[in-house]
Structure 1
Amino acid sequence: MPSNERRYVIKLGCPDRTGIVAKIAGFLTEAGGWIVEADYHSDPDTNWFFTRQEVRADSLPYGVVELRKRFALVARELSGQSDWSIVDTGAKRRVVILVSKEGHCLYDLLGRVHSSELDIDIRAVIGNHTDLASITRAHGIPFHHVPFPVADPEGKVAAFAQLRQLVDANSPDAIVLARFMQVLPTELCADWAGRALNIHHSFLPSFVGARPYHQAHKRGVKLIGATCHYVTAELDAGPIVEQDVIRVDHDDSVADMVRKGRDIEKVVLARGLRWHLESRILVHGNKTVVF
């Protein structure tokens, strides 16, 4: 999309029926809306319909607030169960990143933002260690240290309360767990549902626990990869946004596998974040449609 062309992105999911496309197209046509991108998917297993459409902002006689107000009536006519949203590409998307000690995903995202590959506003980086404070501040981004005490349940509850306060103060469109080695409590998973993205290696559920690359190396695996998914209360089991793999062989050491695994984690997380912020992902149950 040209950087100077502002668009409104409409996403909708609802029970499938005839006339959905005509209803939306008719609404936009009547308003003078110029559709520049349109995607559709009908899922026969769930009888659910999904669509994503981009409309030139300058083709409409009103702004995004009025568009949402009017489109709400269309969505209600289609189904009381419809799930929809409208995003204005003219508003820079806000992101908060959560980290621990491993920096490869953070370095990659910071580099993409610095090179204007990702046009986003990283509002803050929050870490339960200080290892990544310097690189964050070198990019002019605030770093907040929230220590998580070991074997202190009350201290951990307080730490998560502080984490929530710092994150919510920035009203982020995405919360990225960039190798953040803490399990979010159920209430945070619920409050940040559809906004919190996590990345992990693809060995689950085969190789769980500590040293998964060592376990995989002993088994002689030939493919390693990464999964980006939305965070839910069930650990590492949320709706999958993106996955990819890379081949390894008998010559690769554990260190080689770790390096390749980190490479694929960076790429998969960056893709997943981009698609989320471009409003390309529709979630239904524990599955996603990515346009």
Structure 2
Amino acid sequence: MSEQIRHVLTLQCPEGMGIVNAVTGFLVKHERTIVELKQFDDVSAGRLFLRVEFSGEAEENLLAELREEFTAIAAKFEMDWQLRERGQKTRVLIMVSKYDHCLNDLLFRSRTGELPIEIVAVASNHEDSRDLVQWHGIEYHHIPISKETKPQAEAKLLELISQTGAELVVLARYMQVLSDHLATELTGKTINIHHSFLPSFKGAKPYHQAWERGVKTVGATAHYVNSELDEGPIIAQQVVEVDHTFGPSELIAAGRDSECRALSNAVRWHCEGRVFLYGNRTVILR
């Protein structure tokens, strides 16, 4: 049998007649077999979201040819689109402070191949996780930060992102508020894990806020970063039941697994092309 290769096409555009037909007809023309097709028609917004995974015989320069020919279809329907080879690993830079449970989870899932990512570096404002990261054979960058040195530290972070070619930045319990400048620079390509079920309990010590309110569930929210603190578009959330016997420390312990799961789901869906940004909302096709 000839070698087979898979690709993923993702797009969003204004609703209209013939869009799906144009996409599937394009794939038939190129003798591609549809493996998975997911779509969502947002009637209120008048917008179509589509993800299609397809396979076919591997050919030289295939991806470039597909992209070139699809450009005309995309222009006709005003599509915001991306076409890439399935399984291509996303280059990820992780930022962390002292709490390393989410970092450790991502390192493990990357190492075992569960996540389609290549962790190109880890940056931290503390030294606590250096041994863990270097044991995985990954570069560790200590970038201390204070109120006085924040502009210089953030400039170093941007330089590191550029040097490593990181396509996605993951804030795995990075306990620093990003400046408006840095947040704007990273909009749409940075995922943060917030240790609370947003939009409740924003900012510092959300588990203590939850305890004071006597909540019966705690959870975690993975969201894209924007210039508003903990206001970015939500990608994934996880919850766990608790009761009146849980103090703040027990709530923190109960929430750790939720944080890891919500963050790893968000990273996976983003890297698989299943997350579509539209305004301050996301559409997840999975």
Normalised to the residue count of structure 1, the TM-score between the two structures is 0.91
Superposition deviation, residue 197 in structure 1: 0.3
Conservation of the 8 A alpha-carbon contact between 1:225 and 1:245: yes
Q: Equivalent residue for 2:98?
A: 101
| Aligned CA distance change for structure 1 residues 189 and 207 (closer, same or farther; 3 Å) | closer
Q: Residue 45 of structure 1 corresponds to which residue in structure 2?
A: 44
Q: Is residue 215 of structure 1 aligned with residue 209 of structure 2?
A: yes
Note if 1:143 corresponds to 2:140: yes
Aligned residues of 1:244 and 1:264 also touching (Cα < 8 A): yes
Aligned to 1:110: 107
Aligned to 1:128: 125
Q: What runs of 5+ residues in structure 1 fail to find an aligned partner?
A: none
Give the deviation of 1:61 after TM superposition.
Answer: 7.0
Secondary structure class of the residue paired with 1:251: coil
C-alpha contact (below 8 Å) 1:225/1:246 kept by paired residues? yes
The 2-side partners of 1:232 and 1:285 are apart by 11
RMSD: 1.8
Checking the alignment, whether the CA contact within 8 Å between 1:33 and 1:59 is kept in structure 2 is no
1:234 aligns with 2:228: yes
Superposed CA deviations along residues 86-127 of structure 1, whole A, max 9, x for unmatched, are 121243221110011110100111111222322421000000
Determine if the alignment matches structure 1 residue 165 to structure 2 residue 159. Answer: yes
Displacement of 1:218 after TM fit? 2.6
The residue identity in structure 2 corresponding to 1:91 is: Q
Q: Give the number of equivalent residue pairs.
A: 283
Question: For the structure 1 residues 280 and 203, does the alpha-carbon distance in structure 2 shift closer, same or farther, using more than 3 Å as the test?
Answer: closer
> Does 2:160 correspond to 1:175?
no
Distance 1:203 1:14, change over 3 A: closer
Inter-partner Cα distance in structure 2 for 1:10 and 1:171 = 22
Partner Cα separation in structure 2 for residue 56 and residue 187 of structure 1: 41
Pair 1:89-2:83 in alignment = no
Can you list the C-alpha shifts for 1:25-54, whole angstroms capped at 9, x where unaligned? 111111112111101111011000110001
Q: Note the alpha carbon deviations across 1:216-241, whole angstroms, 9 max, x for none.
A: 22321101111111111111111111
Report deviation, 1:77.
1.0
Code of the aligned partner of 2:34: I
Q: Deviations over 1:219-267 (max 9, x none)?
A: 2110111111111111111111111211001222322210111110000
Residues 238 and 157 of structure 1, relative CA distance in 2, 3 Å threshold? same
Which residue of 2 is the match for residue 286 of structure 1? Answer: 280
What residue identity is the alignment partner of 1:239? P
Q: Give the match's secondary structure for 1:131.
A: coil
Q: Is the contact between residue 32 and residue 59 of structure 1 (CA under 8 Å) also seen in structure 2? A: no
CA contact (8 A) 1:87 1:279 kept: no
Which structure 2 segments of 5+ residues have no match? Answer: none
**How far apart are the structure 2 equivalents of 1:115 and 1:62?**
30
- Work out whether residues 198 and 220 of structure 2, in 8 Å CA contact, stay in contact via their aligned partners in 1: no
Q: Does the 8 A contact of 1:229 with 1:238 survive in 2? A: yes
Give the structure 2 partner of residue 253 of structure 1. 247
Q: 2:187 aligned with 1:193, yes or no?
A: yes
Query: Once the two structures are aligned, what percentage of the paired residues are identical?
Result: 43
**Amino acid aligned to 2:239:** V
> How far does residue 186 in structure 1 lie from its aligned partner after superposition?
2.8
Letter in 1 for 2:11: L
Worse-superposed segment, 57-66 or 189-198: 57-66
